[in-house]
Structure 1
């Protein structure tokens, strides 16, 4: 009889424990889902539901190989934008529960919608699948992608006839480019290498491996000290100019209420980084010190005029003095805009 009673009590305890665990995870999931769109700011406290805190001996947040028991949103662990984490809850009865979550961290200051006016347009060769775009003087340097069609070219603004063309091997898919002194640095998409060329002759000077932390090569620019690269994520990678395979620092980009992933073509101008978002008709103005998006440019109108499919999207930022030049993959025009 005693054995039956003990077995019954154990079954009741197990059922109660399972029910409590399920309630804890359900309440945590509801809380996370409710907060995902609202997000957090640095310094905010994760105010977890009582079903969790009252039944937990400890709560740990895991970030890959890092973890913390501090429920404050700290830049030591979190970055701007989306953060994939795992809540690890040790219950008072000794069980361990895990739940995946996405914690979005936004900036406190809203992005400014920056007005502009188109003041001129120039021809652009629609055969060019543009990946990198920059201007020096009146000369445009352009890196065009696609396998069997990748090239580095330069031409005078207003003419679509190249001055120099550097065709690249069939297996190369060219991406962003940047000028440093007399050299041009160029990324590749999935080939995991970059090239360095002589700016005047396009002679190949050397190659370098892309950093392992970058999944792919997308955009590239130069801030006067470091190369800055994107890989299609929310991150900006600052690369050592003397060893571009070395990441000096990484900064995540975020807005006041928007998650900005798939950062692509880049341009550095007058203390700010400008980046387009792949397949979005928007260019971001980013503070390079902290990754905050301080302004956005909406190019919906010109993107609609030039985008016929899913690939020929906005993807080109350069500066002519303080005027911005904007173009895209296989576009027939380059637009010159002035900020208002």
Structure 2
């Protein structure tokens, strides 16, 4: 469903940007020209390619004997165009990110330009590096906590938990588990991911359509934001925030208003990477656990490409006397390269692990 909505919004955006058909470029006013009717034979709608591929373009013009001076191709409203020799040719995909891309073909006449757009999908052009792990240290974790978000800072763990009427924001000492502070969310909210940003904490909810902003020191709620999608994971991204909703889409948000300023479509070399859940920003990359799996993927937020994949298989079996355990969920960075703190929903332990090829 999320992908269908994303496709609809993308096509709606393209429609709103397609105002140059039949427009006089010299005088800036629409002319009463008969549109030629551009039909794509290649590429087909939503046809997959890899970033940087060269692709075949083939169009037809519905009006017989329609004359034009030249044909150009652009990607995503870009300024850099490539010329075709007639209505068929081969061009290089000029885009720096994965996901849906707009291919625009324009017929140029002496005083008018007519355009039509086709949507393709770009997969990653690299195969993710494969990583395994080893356990460096095991910590206690409250097995009653349905972990949704995990952050480490200066010896303390900030954790967001879920479940109806049990969702909380907590702060406790990593080494001892001693609870320092907690806030119980409203009963109607199912708590999700958390992030620390400056002197504040943000916490998502699953399906309530709201995100909370707290004072970091007091846990006092100081603002609420409307969220248009489900809330899953959230983390820092330079001076912005990044949120997941369980699809392959990451949303770049402004911390001040929670406005979406960018969407990142996450792909590896075989297709979209769905079920992105808990997030952590580490060394310029986004680490995301894939919900219901043992995998953590490493994403380049500038391109949407999955650059690495950490296989955490078997970690749950290292838990001490589990009463009831659920899936891997919870990634925190303690400042050391190549090492992360991980846990899961209702797990009795957290694990400090090193990941390596």
Per the TM superposition, whether the score is higher than 0.5 is: yes
The match for 1:113 among 112, 115, 130 is 130
Q: Show the counterpart of 1:229.
A: 243
The match for 1:41 among 20, 29, 50 is 50
Are 1:125 and 1:330, in contact at CA under 8 Å, matched by a contact in 2?
yes
Secondary structure at the aligned position of 1:300 is classed as: coil
Superposed CA offset, 1:86-141 (max 9, x none):
xxxxxxxxxxxxxxxx9763211211112432110101111111101110111000
Q: Show the counterpart of 2:22.
A: none
Q: How does 1:284-323 map to 2 (within 5 A)?
A: 284-303=297-316, 312-322=326-336, 323=339
Q: How does 1:1-340 map to 2 (within 5 A)?
A: 39-44=48-53, 74=93, 80=98, 105-210=122-227, 212=228, 215-244=229-258, 246-303=259-316, 312-322=326-336, 323-340=339-356
Q: Show the counterpart of 2:34.
A: none
Are 1:42 and 1:73, in contact at CA under 8 Å, matched by a contact in 2?
no
Secondary structure at the aligned position of 1:163 is classed as: strand
Secondary structure at the aligned position of 2:203 is classed as: strand
Q: Quickly say closer, same or farther: Cα 1:129–1:197, change in 2 above 3 A.
A: same
1:305 Cα deviation (Å)? 5.1
Secondary structure at the aligned position of 2:186 is classed as: coil
CA RMSD of aligned residues (A): 3.4
1:152 Cα deviation (Å)? 0.4
Instruction: Report the more deviating stretch, 141-150 or 161-170.
Output: 161-170
**What 5-or-longer segments of structure 1 have no aligned partner?**
1-27, 59-65, 86-101
Are 1:312 and 1:328, in contact at CA under 8 Å, matched by a contact in 2?
yes
Secondary structure at the aligned position of 1:217 is classed as: coil
Are 2:168 and 2:185, in contact at CA under 8 Å, matched by a contact in 1?
yes
Secondary structure at the aligned position of 1:320 is classed as: coil
Are 2:244 and 2:277, in contact at CA under 8 Å, matched by a contact in 1?
yes
Between the aligned partners of 2:144 and 2:164, the Cα distance in structure 1 is 14
Between the aligned partners of 1:274 and 1:310, the Cα distance in structure 2 is 26
Give the alignment's TM-score, normalised by structure 2.
0.67
Secondary structure at the aligned position of 2:49 is classed as: coil
Are 1:221 and 1:228, in contact at CA under 8 Å, matched by a contact in 2?
yes
Are 2:50 and 2:269, in contact at CA under 8 Å, matched by a contact in 1?
no
Are 1:278 and 1:315, in contact at CA under 8 Å, matched by a contact in 2?
yes
1:219 Cα deviation (Å)? 0.3
1:289 Cα deviation (Å)? 0.8
**What 5-or-longer segments of structure 2 have no aligned partner?**
1-40, 64-76, 78-86, 103-118
Superposed CA offset, 1:181-203 (max 9, x none):
11101111111111111111211
Between the aligned partners of 2:277 and 2:125, the Cα distance in structure 1 is 24
Runs of 4+ residues over 6 Å off in structure 1:
53-56, 69-73, 307-311
Between the aligned partners of 1:134 and 1:292, the Cα distance in structure 2 is 24
Give the alignment's TM-score, normalised by structure 1.
0.71
Q: Show the counterpart of 1:25.
A: none
Secondary structure at the aligned position of 2:50 is classed as: coil
Secondary structure at the aligned position of 1:243 is classed as: coil
